[in-house]
Amino acid sequence: MSLKRPVLRLVPLGPLDDFQAILYADDDLNLREFLNRAPALATEPMAEELMERSLRELIVTPVAASADCPLYRPPGLLLGAPTASVPTEPVVTVTPPAPAARAEPGRSAPDTCHPTTLSERDAVRLAYGREIEQVASLLSGGLSVLVICDKLVVEHLWQDMARRAGLRDIVLSVDDEQNGGMMPLSLRQRQLAQLKELTHRLKIGDVLVIPHLDLLAGGPDRQLANETREFTELAYTNSDRLMLAFADRSLVIPEVLADRFAVRLLITGVARNVLYPDGREALLGHALITRDEAARIEHFDAEGLYKNVAGMNPVQIRHAITYAVKQHAGGGSLSMSGLYQAIRAFKVQTSLTHFEVPEARFEDIGGYQEIKAEIQQALNLIAGSYRLPNERLRRELIPRGFIFHGPPGTGKTLFAKAIANRLNATVQVVSGPEVMDMYVGESERKIRDLFAEARRNAPAVLVFDEFDAIAAQRSGRADGGNRAGNAVVAQILTEMDGFRPDVPMLVIGTTNRLDIIDTALLRPSRFQAIAIGLPDTAARRAIAEVHARHFQIDAASELLEHIAATTPGFNGDEIRSLFRDVCVGLYCEDPPHPANLERFEALIERIRRVVEQRAR
């Protein structure tokens, strides 16, 4: 017997946000109790028996009123009218929009497109409305679905997916009973025992929901646990049972088990627009920010906000916005730049890896004007500063990454951090050799995890220092070491080709050996190679000026010119060491060494002798 749930299309008589908040707050309410709290009219006459059914047994969809669609009063409800019976004629009620509120001085006017209240569950339902509908459609077609997504959003997804498919959800959950007093079972064993029982009880119109498939049966194919083998056998033995399972991206699901599901769907980040149940679209920055929050932000920019949260899930976005607003709990207004800084700080504090907020600026890098101009053009493309014919063309022009190559000490990593600062992004610097692991498959897993974490922290810059250690030319030799290196390069290629254009993220590799980098990575559509060589005279003069200011050395223009002229072949790091040593002598030694020409010449000569000794 089919257990398809009745679909009710209701036109709210009050604010849509309030209607949805009550709708999603408690599934145990029956329809009568719900409509008493959230009055609405129906697009079709409703049977009396529906009023006693719980929301869990119905599919309630709010819609907008239209002139060509009659509306009917639900049976048994007054809704402010003198009669409680269903009218013989349609009742059409139109609620005028609330007038726009005035803004307080120094704040943005509250936009009526922002919700008045917003729970985490509402945020997930709005941000992932299309994905929920897609999964519901697949389930309605009798296809089992494996959803790969963040753990934070799982509990907010499965109920809607099953409900919109018109199916009864049978959820795998574990209680605290210890198997009737017998020897305590492990979590996996208790889940497996319950799973066997639920699987045999499934009927037509049911869907078995497994919220944490990765914890129940996760692990690589070559090391299947006994419980995983038993569950896999159970899943294939009952291959006609409809299943909806969830797994986190960071945990591995055996391929033999994942193949049991007809469809695998990855849900990651958020889209630019959200889809309301009534078919309206809105910018994410409008739908996921409340009116009170928007009112506290000066010149609120929904598009700019999206670029700073595109890689986060809706729950993380709500946490970040709450964090940013509470940072200004004194009641003062918050600028958009202040909001971005707070979101970036939130990402760094909640990241599992070593992302940081960079302080380096292009103004702190002396010289290299041509390189700065080339990089700035790419950053303008990412920021959308150019007027291009369409957004699709801009996405194709956005670079995915750079390879900075040149001698040691020329500021390659500093350039990467300055790029992150200019993009208002977080940055993680990873040493190439740290990625390599002695165990098969671990190096590729580290690459996947690094890219996944960078996307979650977008806008982000992921820097691979000593890039040649993990991106060297692939070899056809059969030794294990080269196979491992080949696999790492292949994983990097896979991650680079899987970029989402709307998630601002750059990958930067730094190397002294461009000649050994795999040629597939040097394709223009992947990494753009930029040479950062030894500074010329003008660049050395600019570098010296930057470091003199940083170390608070009073250096006349003539002294800076002399330093630039007498340091050919010096890199930026060696010029910096001159001013560092002068600063130590001036402020930390007794008696102090004066910061004069003689002092600089002595230090320059010492560095030159060290360089000559290394070259022998």
pLDDT at 323 over 70: yes
pLDDT at 92 over 50: no
pLDDT at 400 over 50: yes
- 129-266 and 362-531 share one fold: yes
Q: Model pTM greater than 0.85?
A: no
Q: Rounded mean pLDDT of 107-132?
A: 76
More confident residue, 493 or 106: 493
Instruction: For 537-615, give the CATH class.
Output: mainly alpha
Contact indicator for 258, 248 with CB cutoff of 8 Å: no
Q: Rounded mean pLDDT of 559-578?
A: 88
Give the helix/strand (H/E) hosting 405: strand 401-405
Among the listed ranges 109-113, 184-188, 540-544, which one has the minimum average pLDDT value?
109-113
pLDDT bin (cut points 50, 70, 90) of residue 272 is: confident
The residues facing 472 across adjacent strands are: 517
Q: Rounded mean pLDDT of 409-435?
A: 82
Indicate the DSSP class of residue 472.
Answer: B
Say which CATH architecture domain 129-266 belongs to: 3-Layer(aba) Sandwich (3.40)
pLDDT at 454 over 90: no
The residues facing 460 across adjacent strands are: 426, 505
CA distance from start to end of the chain: 87
- Residue-wise pLDDT for 464-510, tens only, equals 888 888 888 876 555 444 566 678 888 888 887 766 666 777 888 88
pLDDT at 103 over 50: no
At residue 422, the pLDDT reads 81
pLDDT bin (cut points 50, 70, 90) of residue 109 is: very low
Q: Rounded mean pLDDT of 353-357?
A: 63
* Structural domain boundaries in the chain: 1-98, 129-266, 281-350, 362-531, 537-615
pLDDT at 188 over 80: no
* 237, burial (CB in 10 Å: exposed 0-12, middle 13-18, buried 19+): exposed
At residue 20, the pLDDT reads 73
The CB density around residue 247, as the number of other CB atoms within 10 Å, is 26
CATH topology for 362-531 is Rossmann fold (3.40.50)
**Looking up tokens 């739908």, which residue turns up?**
287
Q: Which of 59-63, 125-129, 176-180 has the highest mean pLDDT?
A: 125-129
Average pLDDT, the chain: 78
pLDDT at 528 over 80: yes
- Residue-wise pLDDT for 305-319, tens only, equals 887 788 788 998 999
Instruction: Report residue 579 as tokens.
Output: 């001013």
Q: Percent of the chain at pLDDT above 70?
A: 82
Among the listed ranges 53-57, 218-222, 564-568, which one has the minimum average pLDDT value?
218-222
The Cα-based distances of 450 to 6, 346, 414, 431, 598 in angstroms read 45, 18, 20, 12, 49
Among the listed ranges 1-10, 13-22, 247-256, which one has the minimum average pLDDT value?
1-10
